[in-house]
Structure 1
Amino acid sequence: MELDIVDVNLNARSNNNYKIFTVIYISLFIFSQEFRSILGGELFIINPIAIICVALLIVNNMTVKLLRNLDKLFGVMLVYMISASTYEPQLSTILNTICTTFIPIILILVQIEEETLVKIFEKLIRIINVLMILITIIGILECIFGININIYFSGFMSARTGGQIMSNVGSQRRMYSFMGHPLFNTELYLIFFVLNIIYDRYILKTNDRLWIVCVATIGICLTSSKSGLILLGVAIVLLYRCNSKFKKFVYIFCGMFIILKLGLLDNVLIRFGEESLTSGRNETWDKIQMMGLYPIKFFSGYGKDSTFNLNNITSFWASAAFEYPFRAYEFECGILITILIYVYILILPIIKLIKYKQKELLIGFLIIFIDVNTFNGLIASGDKFYIFCLFIFIILNIGELKYRTCNKLKI
């Protein structure tokens, strides 16, 4: 009888987890941050559905281990709130930062059972595959026919992104989408590539699919992201498996030849020739350092979006220097809070993946981590931090599953 009750409880928890993650996926990828903006600015900044789902995940998966980890995270939140109270003029700004930065980190701490993990991973793969194929098809049509299909989506998006789409014309146009900026699209393509490789290898236990490489390569070429293309190249070399190294070399050579012939790399090559790899971010940082403006503080910062205030007192676009998230966090929140955030999104995943002895998962994580730290996505308003934490959640849970399976431990 007791065993039956335990089974019923496990099944109920598993079903609840599946439903919760389904709703999270809908809030992040279908009713996304851009489309939510039509309901008002606050709903664009904060994802109330995701916040409720994270709270339900805590209740549904409460363990002693999770409770201890939450205690530590809530301690970090308390440190942030005390620090932010000295420089943030409004309580709502502090709450916004908690909702868009600290609450998503809870996803990293959640561990779920094997059966549910496989199901929610499969659903995520299906959603992200359809999403990226659709974005790629639209991008190809725009490229071939010289049209701007995304203009028709711009009316349902945030004013800033909509304006960027409207002005995205000319020979050096970059691929926007209904998900947002080209650099965010690049992040999604890299996540799409890495997660599909992991799904093929760890869940399906099959050879990696070639079409995944093709979609990711075409997509990132259309976004014209220099760092994204380099990271994809690294991912293909280190993660993509083929029956033979010779076949892999032939695929890469033929793919690059076709891409060059079709002119998909033209914009990227032009940008490599005209700009540095950082698109002027490091150069702008050097200028600010020489001017001695607003020195970085340890215990406190200058407040949310304060980097844009620098544009008002300089003759150049000074905020570009802070488009790296770690610099923006240091400037806006202080060095201490930045370190505490990066403990969760960098140090903790690396330690766990090394413990699990999962080299490929570690490589995949580092590729995405490097990418999200090459532009201001994590520090910007919206769902970008949630999506990155969701990616880490999948990586860590797959690593945990593989480790326990290999060592015949109970999950």
Structure 2
Amino acid sequence: MKIKVEKSYVNCYYIILLSILLFGYTMRSSLISGVFGYINIMFYACMFLILLKWIKCINYNSFVVAAIFLLILYVDIVTHSNFNQIVTSMVTFVFPLLLFCVNYNKIIKNKELFIVKSIKILNFFIVITFIYIIIDMITGATLTRSLATIFPKLAEYIPVNTGFLQFRSVSYLGHELYTKHFFIVFYILNMIYYSINTKSIMNIVAVHFISIVGVALSGSKIAILVLLFLMIYFNFKGKNKFIKLLLIFIGLLIMNSLGIFDFVINRFKTTTLTTGRSLAWNIISPSLPNIKLIGGSGENLTANLMNRFTQTQVTAAFEYPFRMWLYRYGLIPTILILYQLYIKSFYKFLKGKNLIFIVSFSVIIVETSTFNQLVYNPDFCIAVIMWNIILNCMYDLYQEKKFTGENSYDQKNIK
């Protein structure tokens, strides 16, 4: 009976993954207006089930999350922030952190099974997304136009120019930068598993192909550089490292000849690496007050700045989430949020001196910190939390030397 209970709670993690990949924020907010559109019901139901089950085992993270909540609430009250804006921010990047309050080890007993199933769920939806963006690119965003009649928020991402390979790919997930994030994580998780387990969950050639095409069509300059770095890092190992890199190089040349990289290369030529973020920051930063330990403009920051600057300038200047948190709430709340999302896991990997996890998680930190979805998309924080849990499980197994190659698990039990 105990095993069944444990299995049922592990399923909560799978449901959480499905909640962000199947019916994400863009689609959800199209049907549910206001603050309620931000609430991922499936996630919160699963999280509260976990918290209620292990309420006596809640760890020190609960104090950190409570501190974040109280400090942000204090700043918002002092700055007379709008109630709906306060709730929206709490739902977006504070309340999801409660999932860290129960140690995943108490729920996930078979870590290898959990890892494989989680990656398989991600792989399935990435393949669906890949097929979607290819069809959309060929047909001039026809799929997105059709879906936008049901989910109006998607209409915001339909480009003016929908010529073949002449626009940034969009998907049912929404924003192109949000979509490309999942392609990056797809590559990282599959390659880590392959690197430390000597077998793959998905064909490795397919993983490379889907990742590079998916990221290239998103038009993200930073993402394409990050992915190329990861490809070199993961493949520059073993006896055949030069052959593998040569094959990747040939593959990239073929894709380039087909025009896959035309759009992103053109963006490198016509815009800076940060696409105006640095310029906008240089314009706005002299008008900003000094950063406080606790305190800032609260939820009024953007509105206050837009009285003096354009929306484009404000958005570009505060694309980096940590910058938004610093000037909204102060240094201490920002550090506590970053501690929960990044510092805690990074320190664990750094302490273990395991380069594959240090590099992979560093990439996730950089990649998720270069656009503002952590501040505005409630599912993005949930996604980052799930990557924390999956990577920590992989790290634990690796450290315990339970990945033993071809016979490390019974394929019949993993479906």
Q: Find out whether 1:392 has 2:392 as its counterpart.
A: no
Any idea what SS the aligned residue of 1:211 has? helix
Structure 1 distance, partners of 2:28, 2:90, is: 19
Cα deviation, 1:188-242, whole Å, max 9, x if unaligned, reads 1101111111233445745971210110000011101100000001111112456
Judge conservation of contact 1:325–1:379 (CA < 8 Å) in 2: yes
Q: Which aligned runs of 4 or more in structure 1 are off by greater than 6 angstroms?
A: none
Decide which of 350, 362, 365 is 2:361's aligned counterpart: 365
Instruction: Let me know the Cα RMSD of the aligned residues.
Output: 2.5
Judge conservation of contact 2:349–2:358 (CA < 8 Å) in 1: yes
Q: Which residue of 2 aligns with 1:31?
A: 23
1:4-403 matches, cutoff 5 A: 8-9=1-2, 11-37=3-29, 38-61=31-54, 64=57, 66-109=58-101, 110-112=103-105, 115-157=109-151, 159=153, 161-165=154-158, 167=160, 169-170=162-163, 172-202=166-196, 205-206=199-200, 209-240=204-235, 244-290=240-286, 292-304=287-299, 306-307=301-302, 309-314=304-309, 317-319=312-314, 320-403=316-399
Judge conservation of contact 2:15–2:46 (CA < 8 Å) in 1: yes
Cα deviation, 1:44-81, whole Å, max 9, x if unaligned, reads 212132122112222334565x4333233323322222
Gaps of at least 5 residues in structure 1 are 1-7, 407-411
Larger mean CA deviation between 259-268 and 112-121 belongs to 112-121
Judge conservation of contact 1:324–1:373 (CA < 8 Å) in 2: yes
Structure 2 distance, partners of 1:397, 1:173, is: 38
In the TM superposition, residue 334 of structure 1 has moved relative to its aligned partner by: 2.1
In the TM superposition, residue 184 of structure 1 has moved relative to its aligned partner by: 0.7
Judge conservation of contact 1:18–1:119 (CA < 8 Å) in 2: no
Distance 1:298 1:125, change over 3 A: same
In the TM superposition, residue 99 of structure 1 has moved relative to its aligned partner by: 2.4
In the TM superposition, residue 181 of structure 1 has moved relative to its aligned partner by: 0.8
Structure 2 distance, partners of 1:114, 1:231, is: 31
Structure 2 distance, partners of 1:71, 1:296, is: 24
Judge conservation of contact 2:10–2:108 (CA < 8 Å) in 1: no
Structure 2 distance, partners of 1:157, 1:166, is: 16
Distance 1:203 1:42, change over 3 A: farther
Gaps of at least 5 residues in structure 2 are 403-415
Any idea what SS the aligned residue of 1:58 has? helix
Cα deviation, 1:10-53, whole Å, max 9, x if unaligned, reads x1442122221232122111121122121323232121321221
Judge conservation of contact 2:81–2:300 (CA < 8 Å) in 1: no
Structure 1 distance, partners of 2:354, 2:55, is: 26
Any idea what SS the aligned residue of 1:300 has? coil
- Overall identity of the aligned pairs, in %: 25
Structure 2 distance, partners of 1:158, 1:146, is: 18
Judge conservation of contact 1:226–1:277 (CA < 8 Å) in 2: yes
Distance 1:179 1:305, change over 3 A: farther
Q: Which residue of 2 aligns with 1:409?
A: none
In the TM superposition, residue 134 of structure 1 has moved relative to its aligned partner by: 1.9
Distance 1:12 1:69, change over 3 A: farther
**In structure 2, what residue type is equivalent to 1:354?**
L
Structure 2 distance, partners of 1:288, 1:369, is: 25
Cα deviation, 1:120-150, whole Å, max 9, x if unaligned, reads 3223222221221122222223334545321
Structure 2 distance, partners of 1:114, 1:89, is: 40
**In structure 1, what residue type is equivalent to 2:52?**
V
